[in-house]
Amino acid sequence: MQSTRQVFPDQLRGIALLGIIVVNAPFMAISAAGFTDASVATAFDRVVAFLVILLAQGKFYLLFSFLFGYSALFIIKDDSPVRRRVYQRRLVALAILGAAHLVFFFVGDILLTYAILGFALLLLFGRSDHAVWLTAGISAAISAGWLFLLVLATPFAPATGEIAAFTAYDNAMATGSFLDDAGARLQVFPLILISLIGAQWGFAFVAFCLGLLAARHRFLDRISDYEQTYRRMAIWGLGLGLPLQFATAWLSMGPGVEVGLQASGPAQAAAILGILLAPILSIGYLGLFGLMSTRGLGLLRPFAAPGRTSLTIYLGESVLLTSIFAGWGIGLFGQLGAAAVTATAIGVWLALAVAMTVWQRRFAQGPLEALTGSWTKRPLNQKPA
């Protein structure tokens, strides 16, 4: 296993973090359901929301999940008991940070999800490539089948209407204290958890498995050796993914379509179909970024520093956005349209990216990376049992 850090995975993490904050921002700035009719009342706001759904929603968390599986092999290394304890300690750290994150800042946290699925991935480290591929295929089939059933059933389901927990969340975010917000997140969390399990967990675990396989074969390190593969991924992923995502985004976010909790059954079905088909575009993105890393004349270079401090950036995004929009902070919750919220999210990412670039001129790790590292590496000083 190489001792030097690979650059391209860090660049991918930085890009994924930008895509993730753009998708997450409406849930921290507009409503518990994300975009609302009021937030897309102007043509410009609707276009921006449309582009977020088209280009980002459901795509970048898969890249982030892929990179989690990729990095896991570098933590496990020789699959010794000591290395497994290091990996398990890291998962525990992520679970603790994720639980605090979802209660106090963002109920749609993915760290706790990664911790849970990460223990499942632990079962595959000693397995053959064939076994990992088979596991990924079964998980993908189950997830796709479940989402397809939802697509078929949603148009005939009764209108969602107002959900008391969501209304309480919106009210708390707009006018409540820090602890009021935490209580509202706990109230809405069961509904969000059901949504995350149904829509994300299966595909996230597939991405974990594919990332593990990619690490075994140094797919992100030896890009020139796999250039034809990257090219095919870009051509087919973008060629198929963009038109499909355009169609589903148009049906769920096009002119005159109600959004949020007021969305019609067909619009909600189109949104679910977009999530089902999102992995195609994620594959296209991976192929495109891989080609850009070798021929992009340094276009991806600015993303490396935030990618090396991904835990700090991910949690920092939520802390800053919540501070800007919550009632106990600046208090802009529900007051800005989709375009302003998206611009704020991009600005937050840029601020954190610059801060972490400067930070790394003096320190080898980001603040939270150093904190979790001191916890996860403790078993290395002990003899294996």
| Secondary structure in 3-state letters for the chain | CCCCCCHHHHHHHHHHHHHHHHHHHHHHHCCCCCCCCHHHCCHHHHHHHHHHHHHCCCCHHHHHHHHHHHHHHHHHCCCCHHHHHHHHHHHHHHHHHHHHHHHHCCCCCCHHHHHHHHHHHHHHCCCCHHHHHHHHHHHHHHHHHHHHHHHHHHHHCCCCCCCHHHHHHHHHHHHCCHHHHHHHHHHHHHHHHHHHHHHHHHHHHHHHHHHHHHHHCCCCCCHHHHHHHHHHHHHHHHHHHHHHHHHHHHHHHCCCCCCHHHCCHHHHHHHHHHHHHHHHHHHHHHHHHHHHHHHCCCCCHHHHHHHHCHHHHHHHHHHHHHHHHCCCCCCCCCCCCHHHHHHHHHHHHHHHHHHHHHHCCCCCCCHHHHHHHHHHCHHHHCCCC
pLDDT at 69 over 80: yes
Helix %, strand %, coil % for the chain, to 5?
Answer: 75, 0, 25
pLDDT at residue 297, as a whole number = 64
Structural domain contains residue 247: yes
Task: Calculate mean pLDDT across residues 38-59.
Answer: 94
The reported pTM is: 0.91
Structural domain contains residue 114: yes
What distances in angstroms separate CA 351 from CA 91, 112, 191, 316, 360, one per listed residue?
Answer: 28, 25, 32, 10, 14
Structural domain contains residue 119: yes
Q: Among 81-90, 96-105, 160-169, 296-305, which is the least confidently predicted range? A: 160-169
Q: Which residue has the tokens 């209580």?
A: 183
Task: Calculate mean pLDDT across residues 201-229.
Answer: 93
Structural domain contains residue 99: yes
pLDDT at residue 255, as a whole number = 86
Domain total in the chain = 1
Q: Which residue has the tokens 């059901």?
A: 194
Structural domain contains residue 93: yes
Structural domain contains residue 383: no
Q: Among 131-135, 257-261, 332-336, which is the least confidently predicted range? A: 257-261
pLDDT at residue 2, as a whole number = 43
Closest CA to 60 of 235, 278, 368, 247: 278
pLDDT at residue 158, as a whole number = 56
Percent of the chain at pLDDT exceeding 70: 94
pLDDT at residue 156, as a whole number = 67
Q: Among 25-34, 50-59, 364-373, which is the least confidently predicted range? A: 364-373
Structural domain contains residue 76: yes
Which pLDDT band, with edges at 50, 70 and 90, does 6 fall under?
confident
d(CA 360, CA 366): 7
Which pLDDT band, with edges at 50, 70 and 90, does 80 fall under?
confident
pLDDT digits (tens, 9 = 90+) for 150-202: 888 877 665 555 578 888 899 999 999 999 999 999 999 988 888 888 888 99
Contact 168, 189 (CB under 8 A): no
Task: Calculate mean pLDDT across residues 310-326.
Answer: 95
pLDDT at 364 over 70: yes
pLDDT digits (tens, 9 = 90+) for 287-297: 999 999 887 76
pLDDT digits (tens, 9 = 90+) for 326-341: 999 999 999 999 999 9
Which domain does 19 fall in, by range?
A: 7-378
pLDDT at 1 over 50: no
What distances in angstroms separate CA 330 from CA 185, 321, 347, one per listed residue?
Answer: 19, 10, 16
pLDDT at 385 over 80: no
Structural domain contains residue 72: yes
d(CA 187, CA 167): 11
pLDDT at residue 274, as a whole number = 93
Task: Calculate mean pLDDT across residues 230-248.
Answer: 96
For 12-34, letters b (16+ CB in 10 Å) and e give bbbbbbbbbbbbbbbbbbbbbbb
Which pLDDT band, with edges at 50, 70 and 90, does 84 fall under?
confident
Contact 266, 155 (CB under 8 A): yes
Percent of the chain at pLDDT exceeding 90: 68
pLDDT digits (tens, 9 = 90+) for 104-118: 999 999 999 999 999
Kindly report the backbone phi and psi dihedral angles of residue 372, in degrees, each rounded to the nearest multiple of 5, phi listed first.
-70, -30
d(CA 275, CA 279): 8
Task: Calculate mean pLDDT across residues 36-46.
Answer: 93
